[in-house]
Amino acid sequence: MRCADGSFYTGWTLDPHRREQQHNQGRGAKYTRLHRPVKLVYVEEQPDLSSALKREKAIKKLSHQQKEKMALGWQDKMEISFADLTVVSPGRVNLLGEHVDYNDGLVFPAAIDREVTIRVGKRMDDVVYLRALDLGEEVSFSVNTLDQKIDIDGQPLPTWALYPAGVAWVLLQHGLRVSGMEAEFTSNLPMGAGLSSSAALEVGFAVVWEVLGDWDLDRMTLARYAQAAEVQYVGLNCGLMDQFACANGVAGHALVLDIRSLQWRPVPLPAGYKIVIANSMVKHELVGSEYNTRHQECNEAVEIFQHHLPEVHSLRDVSLQQLLTLQAEFPENVFKRARHVISEIGRVQQAVQVLEAGEVKAFGELMYATHASLRDDYAVSCREIDILVEIAAGLPGCVGARLTGGGFGGCTVNLVREEAVAEFTRELKQQYLERTGISAAIFPCQAANGAHVI
């Protein structure tokens, strides 16, 4: 290991990455405690402890220059090993059908050309070593202790590591082989912005283990396993839409998915228009937030309906007229949540029809209607998001704008004429800055293919 002062520390261990973590936590030799942080720069395997001790002594006798040469050579080899497998897993934007996927509804997402990239080298043991390059963090855990959600040292896994660990846990529950590996990942998806960075990570690692384990799943099953990881392991009551879109994306198309039947088909997006994402830079953390509360409110609405209509199993089974007839039975907030879900399912059905008929303006009006419903009935918008939509609606070339994702911040999705995108981006950014003091991140994107090996 190279110490902070440029010197080298040499020792033997059964798990180099774990030992590196221990030294950086001050649980190593006195010298490394005084010269942290340290970085693992050379590893050499030996057949037994006796051989390892002899080799340790030999390396300690080498000059600093000789050790530098060894370290450089090992780094070159590591680059090759990490390139054993590279998987790209896209984020997604939902054009319509927000907060209905956990209500058996219809959704209309598209995978986008912003993604998580995972580079992997296979290990021969049960240890998974992960390096989150964008966070500057790393962790190692055993696939044999996934139930405990702990790392190699018995410490709780960091939040970001729960997503790939959860995928491994679900795969094992279904009898699939999960091997050890060394993986590093990076992303150009903003975290907590409603573009499904977590689902992209889950689906990406599911594809990684599928390749390493030499087993084969259809993409819908893979998406369901990734969703189960988030619900059962991470603890977020998400629907299937995010993982579905990340796994099944089709370039140039949105995907209309019936959550109840799991039937879906791609729908071509209109030529001459771009999807423009505007990140409000107001970030949200969904676990433990209002997201789960909305889920509970929808369940409460179903229970109220069942007292009068026993055949109702979800809000998908109810019409707006039935809701209005029973309005007096509902607490006001529960009534509003149900009204959003029921009307939103209808908007998705209309959206597919108008797009296939080439009526782009009508599709844009449905986007605006969805935003109003999310703001007023589902109460998941916020001041900054509302300002972005208001500004966009007044700019030339924009036919539709709305909140996308879970809400409470995050992003808007805008449908903009291709020739107007540059001016739209400049004006939206400038006017948003003037009204909020926040510099939004705005980028055009296009519908992309689902997670795949490159």
Token pair 């791609």 is at which residue? 266
> How far is 278 from 280, CA to CA, in rounded Å?
6
Q: What is the pLDDT of residues 17-41, one digit of tens each?
A: 778 888 888 888 888 888 888 887 7
> How far is 292 from 290, CA to CA, in rounded Å?
5
Structure tokens at 75: 């780094």
CA atoms in the 13 A half-sphere facing the CB of 263:
1
> How far is 16 from 22, CA to CA, in rounded Å?
10
Residue 342 has a pLDDT of 98
Residue 80 has a pLDDT of 39
Q: Show me where the domains of the chain are located.
A: 16-79, 85-269, 273-445
Instruction: Please tell me the CATH code under which domain 85-269 is placed.
Output: 3.30.230.10
Active site residue 104: no
Residue 79 has a pLDDT of 47
Residue 236 has a pLDDT of 86
Set 242, 258, 376, 386: catalytic member: 242
Residue 287 has a pLDDT of 42
**Which residues lie below 8 Å from residue 413, measured CB to CB, with a gap of 6+?**
93, 94, 95, 275, 276, 277, 367, 401, 402, 404
Contact predicate 396/424, CB 8 Å: yes
Contact predicate 90/336, CB 8 Å: no
Residue 28 has a pLDDT of 82
454 residues of the chain, pLDDT tens digit each: 787 777 888 988 888 877 888 888 888 888 888 888 888 778 877 777 887 788 888 888 877 777 766 776 555 444 435 557 999 999 999 999 999 988 999 999 999 999 999 999 988 889 999 999 999 999 999 999 999 999 998 999 999 999 999 999 999 999 999 999 999 999 998 776 678 899 999 999 999 999 999 999 999 999 999 999 999 999 987 889 999 999 999 999 999 999 999 999 999 999 999 999 999 998 766 545 687 899 999 999 999 999 999 999 999 999 999 999 999 999 999 999 999 999 999 999 999 999 999 999 999 999 999 999 999 999 999 999 999 999 999 999 999 999 998 888 889 999 999 999 999 999 999 999 999 999 999 999 999 999 999 9
Please give the distance of CA 101 from its chain centroid, rounded to a whole number. Answer: 16
- For the entire predicted model, the pTM comes to 0.77
Instruction: Please tell me the CATH code under which domain 273-445 is placed.
Output: 3.30.70.890
Among candidate residues 130, 132, 133, the one with its CA nearest the CA of residue 141: 130
Residue 82 has a pLDDT of 55
Residue 26 has a pLDDT of 85
Neighbour count for residue 142 (Cβ, 10 Å): 16
User: Strand, helix or coil at 210?
Assistant: helix
